Structures are given as structure tokens and as C-alpha cells.
Chain A
């Protein structure tokens, strides 16, 4: 326990604590994971895939980074507030629905068109993709916010426990609130 506490007080304890293999491989893996998310997103709304699952996978990538390099790293590198990502996603989806209202159609009416481009063949462009983009933002943002919030509260509690006294065992699970 004491060892762990000392570790937690140093700025990049997670980087020290984790294995070198994880540390090295993650820098490459993250791109692959994000690529998979990208693929699933475009594979899209008519087939297995879409915004929700792509959002989950992207969030997984970010959370993996968080686990490997620690929250310090996350806060200094990704300074973006993910709560705004949720807000942006919600507004994209909402705007997508409201656009139909402005055109005099029922809320959330979607449409699509098929473009044929010589090299790529036929491509289906659907407004549902825009809605899906909103879902993607909400899911990925929401997951990252939730996971980091849980991690932060744990760290805050540990720091709090350290500050009190060294003799009191506020850190042990037995004395934590049921």
C-alpha cells in the first residue's frame, strides 16, 4: 500500500508502473483502433457498424492511452474538454432533426442520394450519416468523460487519504463507506 501511495504522488506513476511492451505497442495500436472506428463509422447505418459502435471504439482507444500513460499525460496532451464533445454531438444530431422541420417534413426525416464517381463507383450519401456523426461524438465524449471522472475521483480520494494522517487507514477498502 505504501509503495503504491508513493507512486501515485509522482507525476507520471502510470508510465512507470506499466510494462514497456504495453507502452511501446500502444503508440501503434491506437492508430489501428481508430482506423477500425473510422471504418465502422462509414460502414454505417444500413449495415453493422455506425456512430454508436465507432464512438465506443474511439473511446476505447483514448481510454487505453489514459491507462497506459496516466491522467497527467491525458490532461497535458488532450487539453480538449470532452464534455463539449457531448454537447457538440447532441447539437449535430438535433440540428439534423430540426433541418427536416425547417423543410416542412416531420422531425428526423432522412433522405439519401446515390453519387456515381468514375473511379470509386456508386456511393450512397445519406443524411443519416450526419445524425450518426452526432451519435459518434456523444458516445465517444460521454465514455471518456465517465471513465476519466471515475479515475479522477479515485485519485482525489487517495490524495485526500494521504493528506489526513499516515496513521489513519482511510485508504483501506474496509473503512471506505459502504
Chain B
């Protein structure tokens, strides 16, 4: 069934963005419009998820052009959950920004750029055509370039340059990959590709193309050895921006990896899955180790983004329904918790006026709400029950045990310790212990800043407590992903 509803998660931020352009001089209007649209987007995303769960995969054919010629947009359970999380994170970021972002940025299209980024994210999640995916990626990236550079501080510009260069490189490889794909099969519709790619005789060519796509999505998802840009560039901009980047952007890359390597590149699977597995393990371990030697608050968190992407990658690499479900659960958990931790980091840095852990100390005495909020987020990230992080790891361990991957189990547990170590390190240095005289520069409005992160931490707790129904949904999403025929049938349902 074709329905415009599929497009609704994109149209809402898009319409908002246009309205924001008209009112760009009035910060008050910008805030009201963004806030209202954020709430509408969340409500809409919940409804969309509900529809997908009751009616199955929804497909939209733009302008009534049928596949494989027209543009298709597909929402299955996986995409619907991610759309919901995008809306939630977008809303939390917008509300956090009200008390965090300075006037100068607000006047310079800040909210507009956030909305455009949400358009790009949602577009990437629901694109059913790989060239379309490229376009949404570009929308997302161009907004992210400007958001990173906005403010024009010297450090910020330096890191933005690295970020831009790497992403432009990856995008050009994306185009090369698309060209090869089109030359090999004559189509760019993902469902059509899923049919045609296994029929190609020269499967090593397909392997080559898949490695190009692995490079492209891998550099956006920050997997080993393409992660070097991430920790520095995410530590520079204001916390609201680095939170939405850390929570969402890398996950878009992971989403694309999961989508393409379960739908399209499944012909010669052992080679590519082994590669993914090794890269996943390396990403996990090096991300965790990288965090240990850091003393900058947000850099530690950024290294843990990398480490967690590794978990998702090995979930994909083991490619059973259970491990893919675990990878998805990990993504959802990580989006929520990581964003909240970045908000806590932002609030802490604003209070103490520095991002260096060694100069902070004893903030728990004066700011207990902040400190305990961070603590809960931190242990959730490390995987302590009853938070969502525990169930993510549990699912992953179950999946690995099912197919007898002892090494995977070992690394899942070992890197969990590294995460716990880093979180405790931040907690001990920054909040626990003697109060340092230098700390506490500005406390204005810090309570309002804690609303968004606390709600997200609570959400993580709820996801942990309600894990039975949520795991059911995730398993359903993974079952859909594991069977490409469902996707193909949904896309071509109007023709047959």
C-alpha cells in the first residue's frame, strides 16, 4: 500500500525548516516553532511505528512512479524504530539547546540546520533507493558541516576541516560505488538490486563493490581504521551539537551497513562477514583503549562511541537473527544513553568552565542531580542491570553463544570492563571526592539543562524494565531484516 504517511517523518521537519527560514531574525519564533514541531514529530513517529507494527512494511512510491524506475521509500520495523529515536533525540536536542546554545548561533540558522539534519537522518533511514540514500546522506552531512563550523572558533574550524575532507572523500567513493553498481546491474533500487546482485556471474566484482560501500559507510560510522576523525571533531562544538552527532550520525552509518549487508551484498558472505567481524573486534577494543588514556570529558565519550559501534558491527558480522537483533538493540540503547551523557558533559563543562577531568572534582556536593544522572547514564552504557545496556549485551552474548563464537563473547565482556572503567574514572575525577576551589564558574540555568538528559536516562531505565516487549519488537525487526524477500515483496507489491 502506497501511503504518504511514510513521508511524514520527513515532511514535518522539512516544513518546519522552511518556516524557520522565514522567521530567521526572530529567535523567539524559532524556539516556538522548533519546540512544537519536535513534539509533533515524536507523536507522528510513535503513530508510524504503531502502523508498521500492525500493518507490516509500508512503502511509498514518489509521484506514483513504480519501482524499479521511480523513487521508493520503505519503512519496516527497523526503520520505524530509528525514525522514532531520531524524533526523540531531535526533540531532546532542541529543548536542551534553549538553555545551552548562545544567541549568536540561534540567530545563525541553528534550528534550521538541526531540522535539515533530521530531514537527512529520516531520509537515510527510509530510503529505498541507494542513490536516494546518497542524496539524504549529503543533506545530512552538509547540515552537519555547518553545525560543526558554526561559531567559528579556531579549534572548531581545524577539526571541521578534517571532518569535511574525510566525508567528502567518503562521499566521492560512495558515488564511485554507485557507478560500479549501476554498471553491473543497471538499477539502483535497493529491492531490485537485491534480486539482481546474486544473479551476476562475477561475484568477486560484487565483493569489490561491497568493500567500497564498507569503506564509505564505515568511515561515517567510525569503524577501525577510519575512526581517527571522530574523537577530536565531536569534542569541539557545543555539547548540544556533539550530542546529536554522537547519538545519531554514526548510527546512520551503522544503519546503512546493516541494511546493505543484509539486503544486497549477501552473495559471497563468508569473506565479507569475516572482514566485518575482525574490524568489529578491533573497533571495540581500540575505541575502549583509546578512551583510557584521555582526560578530556567529551573525548572519552567520543572514544566510547567508536567502541560501541564495534559491538553493532560484530552483531552484524555474526548474522543470525538473534545477533542482528542484539546489534539493533545496541543501536537503540546507544542512541539514547550516549546523547544523554553528552548533555551531562555539556552541563558539567559549563559549570566548571573546563573539559579537563583533572581540574574538576567534587561536583557531587553541590550538584547531586547532575552527578547521579551522569552515574546512571554511565553504568547504563557499561551494561549494568536493570538498564538498557545490560539487555543489549545479554542479547549479544546469547547470540554469540548460540553459534559458539567464544572470542566474540570474550571481547564483549572485556570491553564492557573498559567502558565501566572509563565511566567510573570520569565519575571519580569529576564528581566524587574533595571539592576543588577552581570548580564552579557558572551555574545559571543548570537545572533546566538537566531535564533532557534525565528524561533520556529514565527512558533507558524504562527500556531496560520493559525489555520483554521491546526485545519482541526488535526480534521482529531482525527477522524482517534477515529475510530480504519480505522487503522485495513489499516494494514490488503494486506490480504483482
List chain A positions with a Cβ less than 8 A from chain B: 83-84, 86-87, 90-91, 94, 98, 100-101, 105-110, 177
Say yes or no: is B32 at the interface (Cβ < 8 Å to chain A): no
What are 5 of the A-B contact pairs (CB < 8 Å)? A86-B21, A87-B22, A90-B18, A91-B18, A106-B4
How distant is the Cα of A106 from the Cα of B157 in the complex, in angstroms?
42
**B contact residues vs A (CB 8 Å cutoff):** 2, 4, 7, 11, 14-15, 17-18, 21-22, 24, 60-64, 154, 157
Contacts of A108 in B (CB 8 A): 62-63
> Within the assembled complex, what's the spacing in Å between the Cα atoms of A98 and B18?
14
Q: Please, which residues of chain A bring their CB within 8 A of the CB of B14?
A: 94
Instruction: Let me know if B60 and A107 touch, CB within 8 A.
Output: yes
Chain A: which residue is nearest B17 at the CB level? Answer: A90
A159 to chain B, nearest CB (A): 17
Report yes or no: A106 in contact with B18, Cβ–Cβ below 8 A: no
Tell me the complex Cα distance, A108–B14, Å.
14
| A107–B62 touching, CB < 8 Å | yes
Neighbouring A residues of B15 by C-beta, 8 Å: 94
Min Cβ gap A87→B in Å is: 4
Instruction: Assess the B22–A109 pair: CB atoms within 8 A.
Output: no
B24 and A83 contacting across the interface, CB-CB below 8 Å? yes
- B154 touching A177, Cβ below 8 Å: yes
Contact B18 A110 (CB under 8 A): no
Q: Tell me the minimal C-beta distance from B490 to chain A in angstroms.
A: 16
A106 to B62, CA, bound (A): 6
Report which of A94, A100, A106 forms a contact with B60, defined as CB distance below 8 A. Answer: A106
Q: Which residue of A lies closest to B71 (CB)?
A: A108
A106:B2 contact, CB within 8 angstroms = yes
Q: Contact: B154 with A109, CB < 8 Å? A: no
CA distance A107 to B7 in the complex (A): 8
- How distant is the Cα of A177 from the Cα of B157 in the complex, in angstroms? 10
Contacts of A84 in B (CB 8 A): 21-22
Query: Residue of B at shortest CB range from A87?
Result: B21
- Say whether B21 contacts A106, CB under 8 Å: no
Contact A94 to B18, CB < 8 A, known contacts A106-B4, A107-B4, A107-B7? yes
Which residue in chain B gives the minimum CB-CB distance to A177?
B154
> Which of chain A's residues have a CB closer than 8 A to the CB of B154?
177
Using Cβ atoms and an 8 Å threshold, which residues of chain A touch B2?
A: 106
- Asked if residues B61 and A106 are in contact (CB atoms below 8 Å), the reply is yes
A28, B220: Cα distance in complex, Å:
49
B64 in contact with A105 (CB, 8 Å): yes
CB neighbours (8 Å) of A91 from chain B are 18, 22
Known contacts A94-B14, A94-B15, A177-B154: does B64 contact A109 (CB below 8 Å)?
Answer: yes
Contact B21 A90 (CB under 8 A): yes
| The 7 nearest A-B residue pairs measured at CB | A87-B21, A108-B63, A90-B18, A109-B63, A87-B22, A91-B18, A101-B4
Shortest CB distance B116–A (Å) = 10
Residues from chain B with a CB closer than 8 A to the CB of A109 are 63-64
Closest to A100 in B: B63
Known: A98-B11, A106-B4. 20 other contacts (CB 8 A): A83-B24, A91-B18, A94-B14, A94-B18, A100-B63, A101-B4, A106-B2, A106-B60, A106-B63, A106-B64, A107-B4, A107-B7, A107-B11, A107-B62, A107-B63, A108-B62, A109-B63, A109-B64, A110-B63, A177-B157
Known A106-B2, A106-B4: A83·B62 in contact at CB below 8 Å: no
Closest to B20 in A: A87
Q: How far is the CA of A108 from the CA of B60 in the complex (A)?
A: 11
Nearest to A178 among chain B residues (CB) is B158
Within the complex, the shortest CB–CB distance from A84 to chain B, in Å, comes to 7
- Chain B residues within 8 Å of A100, by CB: 63
CA distance A101 to B203 in the complex (A): 43
**Does A83 contact B4, Cβ atoms closer than 8 Å?**
no
What is the distance, in angstroms, from B58's C-beta to the closest C-beta of chain A? 12
**Chain A: which residue is nearest B112 at the CB level?**
A87
What's the least CB distance linking A113 to chain B, in Å?
17
The one of A83, A101, A105, A107 that contacts B21, using a Cβ cutoff of 8 Å = A83
In Å, the complex CA distance between A84 and B20 comes to: 11
